Chain A
Amino acid sequence: MTVHAAIAEVDAGAIALAGISKSFPSANGALAVLDNINLSVRPHTIVALLGASGCGKTTLLSIIAGLVRPDRGEVSFGGRPAARFNEWRSISYMFQEDRLLPWRSTVANVEFGLEAGDMPHAERRRRALDALKLVGLDSFEDAFPHQLSGGMRSRVALARSLVTEPVTLLMDEPFSKLDAQTRAQMHAELLRIHSLKHMTIVFVTHDVEEAVILADEVVVLAPRPGRIREIVPITCARPRDPTESSAIHAIQHLRSLI
């Protein structure tokens, strides 16, 4: 997607959550997981959902993705209710695990992101190769997942989420299984791609430092039931360095909240 096209779709990238509540059945009655979540995400920004485990952050992301239906409340994209928003290609979801299909080569794994529709194979292949180039893996198109390192697998998963040229990218702790150095590389990679593609990113994390490095805004969730404790804008200049004083300050503030 070109910058021009991204600007034309300004509205589509905006996400609004109104009065989202969700509970799951449990042994002692319904367990409230999310309680009255109201949030609006500005288009093209990066928003972190931060909280300890059990605060419902992954459930919230699944609700935004349409994987889980809320008991009450509504999700809308670009002002349109999610229920009537059926352009599946404009929303991508990246899981905590890379979930690469072991029987497919790298490029075929990326193509998988486009196979729900009926795009011709040659076109899929071309786009998949472009996406691999974007994440710096264009010379590994024929490798099988088991031949790749953790960081490379993560890049393939990222390419699969990007191949649809999404307006919104939802990420569920996508780098949490990587070692610290690789994770830092992936952060830089994601920010570089964001500066090219300008998609709206909502990502879940329990890592305060990750939230500060990536996000424009951090939504801190309080647990049981999950609710918004505070929305903290991160104003440090990019590229961010977690050892710099303003970043340290933000990290300390967020730590005090969770």
Chain B
Amino acid sequence: MSEHATLAAPRSGMRIGLVGQRLTLLAVLLGIWWLCSLRLPHYVLPGPQRVWDALMLIAGNGDLWSNLAITLERVCIGFVLATLISVPLGIMLGAIKPLGEFFEPVLPVLNTVSSAIWAIFAIIWFGISNATTIFVVFMTAMPLIITNVWQGTRTVNADFIELAHTLRMPARKVMTKIYLPTIMPYFFSGARLAFGFGWRVSLVAETLGSSSGVGYRLRQAADLIQTDQVFAWTLTMIAMMVALESGVLKPLENHLFRWKKEAEAQ
């Protein structure tokens, strides 16, 4: 406890320094952007003020929120489906050795397929619909989660299984009390990666095969040479991802795996 108290002071000092650094970086980038925009036509590079106005416009007329919600919904559905299928598959591949060896080459192959190719297939199979985007997110997230869960099952400690046996613990409880907690950190890092990738590829899918969502609106704005709106959508997406990452996922991971993080820090 006393260690924590002594560590807290320099840590919060460092945090203030870090925030200052980040704000300065943001100001510098904004400055460069503004200077460049002065010398270029606004349909090539709109200035910060123009982009801000465009952002206010789409936020004001509800365009921003409805399309963000549509995209987020598709990403979440694809991601949840991928999780539901990948976690049991990953555990199975890890727990049944011959099965794992047999299917081992499939995952790297799946991982090398570009999301644009999945999008093309999705349009052929599902046409312009929600399913297209969901499918692309699913196909991108699935191999990532399977790979991580599979890796996690390999690290299950046989000593803990034996301990559970001396306690006459039924197999179902060994699964939930030993396997799942061991796999959790692996699943979580896979899921984080998969969600980030899913979010990005959803835009590709919406650009090609959708009539709504952020990706669709991005392409529409580009087609109409509303470059300021393209910038506004892009900034929104970046802000959203950063907020999810640092506001939800990172703190959640820190809390869930505090036993692990501190062990590594030692």
A residues contacting B by CB (< 8 A) are 65, 67, 88, 92-93, 95, 97, 99, 101-104, 112-113, 115-116, 144-147
Contact = CB atoms under 8 A, between A and B. Distances in A.
B162 interface: yes
Interface string B149-177: 00000000001101111111110010001
Is the contact region of chain B dominated by helix, strand, or loop, or is it mixed? Answer: helix
B181 A116 contact: no
Given A101-B181, A102-B259, A103-B260, A146 B167 contact: no
14 contacts: A67-B165, A67-B166, A95-B163, A102-B263, A103-B259, A103-B260, A104-B181, A112-B177, A115-B169, A116-B167, A144-B262, A146-B259, A146-B263, A146-B266
Interface of B: 159-160, 162-170, 173, 177-178, 181-182, 184, 257-260, 262-263, 266
Contacts of B258: 144
Nearest to B163: A99
The 10 closest A-B pairs by CB, nearest first: A88-B168, A93-B166, A146-B263, A116-B169, A144-B259, A103-B181, A116-B167, A99-B163, A103-B259, A116-B168
A250 B262 CA distance: 47
A59 B103 CA distance: 38
Contacts of B177: 112, 115
A116 B162 CA distance: 13
A145 B164 CA distance: 18
Contacts of A112: 167, 177
Contacts of B170: 116
A229 B127 CA distance: 81
A95 B163 CA distance: 8
Which of A97, A103, A115 neighbours the largest number of chain B CB atoms within 10 Å of its CB? Answer: A103
A99 B168 CA distance: 16
A185 B164 CA distance: 28
B45 to A, nearest CB: 50
B169 to A, nearest CB: 4
B167 A113 contact: yes
Given A101-B178, A103-B260, A147-B262, 8 more contacts: A65-B166, A95-B163, A99-B163, A103-B181, A144-B258, A144-B259, A144-B262, A144-B263
Contact of B167 (A88, A102, A144): A88
Contacts of B168: 88, 116
Contact of B160 (A88, A99, A115, A144): A99
Contacts of A115: 167, 169, 173, 177
A95 B167 contact: no
A97 B181 contact: no
A197 B157 CA distance: 32
Nearest to B169: A116
Contacts of A93: 166
Given A115-B173, A116-B167, A116-B170, A95 B159 contact: yes
B56 to A, nearest CB: 47
B178 to A, nearest CB: 8
Nearest to B182: A103
Contacts of B164: 116
A215 to B, nearest CB: 22
B161 to A, nearest CB: 10
A97 B181 CA distance: 20
Contacts of B259: 102-104, 144-146
A103 B257 CA distance: 8
B37 to A, nearest CB: 51
A93 B159 CA distance: 13
Nearest to A92: B166
Contacts of A95: 159, 162-163
A103 B162 CA distance: 17
Nearest to B256: A103
